[in-house]
Structures are given as structure tokens and as C-alpha cells.
Structure 1
């Protein structure tokens, strides 16, 4: 569950955790309905073959929000920590 600490409002109830390479690689590709996906990555993600826009929340190692990206449409690349 993802909860806003200040307002105590639940933002997401059902989160899918991508734990291995396959789950991270496939992510939300080809799904018909959006899901909340939690994955660890260090520099960015793409929305190729994703059928809906995404809202992205970037957390630091202490789970503090450091960046937000709303409505990332399909077939885009989003980099937040370019090498």
C-alpha cells in the first residue's frame, strides 16, 4: 500500500512488485488495464508497448519522493538520473 504521510490518504492499494529480470523487463507491457508496479531501476524507463499513460513516482533509498512524472504516454522514454 502507498500512503501519503502528510494526509494519511491511500494512493495505491494493490501494488505488484517486479522482483526478477523477467518481471522488470515485461513490466506493464501488453496489459489492458493499468496496475501499480513497483520496481527498482537506476536511470529510467520506457512505455513502449504499454497501452495506457503512467504516473511515475521516483523514490530515494529512504523511500522519500524525489521526482514525479504524471501522464507519461505510451511509446516514450523517461530518464531521471542519466549516466
Structure 2
């Protein structure tokens, strides 16, 4: 099991970070799931934009560059919405809405362990 840690503060942000790195897993993402457990997230790689079509709950999305630095945060994305395209982003991490509030800021370096 992978964890997501803020390298600046040392705080564990997500206890269970799942990975979507195949075409099918990236396409499916969190669509159709009724929810995800607290402290769980999904890393979609490569990715620089997300949509919430066919989602059943709101999510927070952090966009990270090739150096694992946060370059954009899309908070509380509602079902049916679309994020902007973040050109510098190489991948994203999705989690329950409000999960990243106060724990992650633009410029933070994150680690996956």
C-alpha cells in the first residue's frame, strides 16, 4: 500500500494511495463508485485534466509536476464538472472533497512511499 506524504511538513496526507496507470484504469478513475474510504486517494498518471462525469460524490484534485510539486488544486469538484487543463501537470491525485484543505498548498513537494 502506498501513502502520500507532504515532504515539507512530514504529514501523511493519504494512508492508501491507489494507482491508475493503464488506459482502462485511467479512463474509469472514480466513475461509478458510490464513494471512497476516508484517507484513500487515486493517483492518475499521466494526467493533466480530469472530469467528474458519472461521479456520485465531490472530490478534491491536486495536480503535480514531474518533480512531485503541487502546481494546481481543484477543490470540491462536483459531479459533472471539468477541471482546467494544467499544462505543467504530469499526474493528479484525487480524494474526497475537502481532504486536501489546509494540508496541501501550491508549491508543496509530495512523496509517495
TM-score range, shorter chain: 0.7 to 0.9
TM-score by length of 1: 0.88
Give how far 1:33 is off.
1.6
Alpha-carbon distance in structure 2 between the residues aligned to 1:40 and 1:79: 16
Deviations 1:29-70 (A, max 9, x none): 110122411012443110001111111110000101111111
Query: Which residue of 2 is the match for residue 27 of structure 1?
Result: 29
Alpha-carbon distance in structure 2 between the residues aligned to 1:66 and 1:24: 20
- Root-mean-square deviation over aligned CA pairs: 1.5
SS in structure 2 at match of 1:25: helix
**Unmatched runs of 5 consecutive residues or more in structure 1:** none
Query: Which residue of 2 is the match for residue 11 of structure 1?
Result: 13
Structure 2 counterparts to residues 34-49 of structure 1, below 5 A: 34=36, 35-49=40-54
Among 58, 62, 78, the alignment partner of 2:83 is 78
Relative contact order higher in (CA < 8 Å, ≥ 6 apart): 2
Question: How many residue pairs get matched?
Answer: 82
Say whether residues 1:64 and 2:69 are aligned partners. yes
**Unmatched runs of 5 consecutive residues or more in structure 2:** 88-113
